[in-house]
Structures are given as C-alpha cells and as structure tokens.
Amino acid sequence: MLRLAAGSHPGWVRENNEDAYLAERLPGDDRWLIAVADGMGGHRAGEVASWLALATLRERLLEGAGLADAVCAANEAVFRRQADDPRLSGMGTTLTAAVVGPGGAVQLCHVGDSRAYLLRQGELARLTRDHSLVEEFVRSGALTEQEARRHPQRNLLTRAIGTEATVPVDEATVQLKPADVLLLCSDGLSEALPDARLAALLVQQVTGEDLGAGVEILIQAALDAGGADNITAVLARWDGEDS
C-alpha cells in the first residue's frame, strides 16, 4: 500500500496560502492520487486557480479520464473561469500530479515549477523539470543552479495551468519499489531547501511509521530558511503490494 502524509504552511511573508494539495486513496478504487498546485494571481485569484485545478482534476479522474486528460480539463476550467470573471484575470497555477496504481505503477503529469522527487535507497532524483525561465538558463549553461536560486526572475514560469486555452503537459511513468518515497512540493519548499539538504532530511525522516513527522520537519526546515513563500509537501511511501 501507499502511505501518505501532506501539509501546507503560508510561510512568514504571504497573507494567503495559494498552494493546495491532494493526497488520498480514490474512492471505490485501487488508486491513489497525490497532487500539488501553486496558484498565482492578484487578490485571492491564486487560491481560486489552485483549488479549481485540483477539484477539476479529481472530478475527471473519478469520471474515468486519464491523468493527462484530467490535467488538460483542469487547464480549461481555470482558463474559462478567468475569462468569465475579470476580477480573476491573470490567474494561473502550477500542477504536479501523480496517480499510483495497485502495483506501485506511477503516472506523473506536470506543468509549472512545483516538483516531484523520488527517494530510492537514499538517493534523491528529480522526476520533473521546472517550466521556468531560470531552468532554461540553467539548461543552456547561462546560469548555475546556485545563481538560479537567487535570480530576481526565478518565479517567472514558461508554462502554467489556466493562462492559455491549451497547455503542453509533461508526462512520465515510474515503477515504485518497496520503501521508495515520492515527494511532491511547491517552490516554497524546493527554493528554501537545495536538493542535497532535502535528501538528507528525507533519508532521516521517511522510514518510520509516522510519515507525517517527515512532512512537518520539511516544512519547518523551509520556514527556518526564511519561509518567504507558501510551503507545501506531499510524501507518499510505497510499502509494497501486500503490506
């Protein structure tokens, strides 16, 4: 089975929490859904965008849609909502979502700069590539990873849910092995904690019964590092088929 834990904190600077997440076993189903959305937009539009995206995603999955189609439906829903309501104009959200099937088979879909990581035998690997300007600069060699972390335009996205009528969705599949851990998080966590620090914290915290303590420790570490943004983390540990 898949063991789940999740949490979110507004951080020390922002008044609202525009991040949202899902972490559940889908009702009447042998599948689990985990997702993180980091909304953007003035007033409370960011919250509308992230929650609408997740609600649409979940609804479509329960109706039998595939994950990528459900993500496209989420894009349409957010895009249409802001066309209908000028107060929400300019809103959008990231969306990183995974469906885990009964044998530990993971389908992953991703748009934006939230992230999915896989911790396997103490090694942390990124499963997603940020759709951000600085990520493109890092890939082209124009910026180092460290420079990107401090770049003034580091929050500029090249893709988001709800900002255009259609959006290209990155897709990946992973086969989980027993004791593997998936981490989905918003940039409030990954910007505060470099991968090496994240890996060190995860290795210490995700093996016990209480996965929730692992989430709390990650969020606390991001708060201690400044807490400049909303912080969200979802942990999912595959304990094997029969456990």
Contact status, residue 45 vs residue 82, Cβ threshold 8 Å: yes
Please, which residues bridge with residue 119 across strands?
124, 181
User: Which residue, 2 or 160, is less far from Mn ion as judged by CB?
Assistant: 160
Nearer to Mn ion, 188 or 214 (CB): 188
Q: Which burial class, exposed, middle or buried, applies to 180 when counting CB atoms under 10 A from its CB (0-12, 13-18, 19+)?
A: buried
Residue 198, classed as helix, strand or coil, is helix
Least Cβ distance, residue 42 to Mn ion (angstroms):
15
C-alpha 172/C-alpha 88 separation (Å) is 31
DSSP state at residue 178: T
Residue number, 47 or 229, with CB nearest to Mn ion: 229
* Cβ at position 234, least distance to Mn ion in Å: 14
Residue placing its CB nearer to Mn ion in the complex, 20 or 106: 20
Residue 87 is given by DSSP the state G
Of 106 and 186, the one with the shorter C-beta distance to Mn ion is 186
Least distance between Mn ion and beta carbon 180 (Å): 26
State in Å, rounded, how far the first CA of the chain is from the last one. Answer: 6
State how far the alpha carbon of 206 is from the alpha carbons of 10, 148, 154, 214, in Å.
Answer: 23, 28, 29, 6
The least distance separating Mn ion from the CB of residue 45, rounded to whole angstroms, comes to 14
Phi, psi at residue 158, to the nearest 5°?
-95, -15
Contact footprint for Mn ion (CB under 5 A): 38, 186-188, 229
* Least distance from Mn ion to the Cβ atom of residue 231, Å: 8
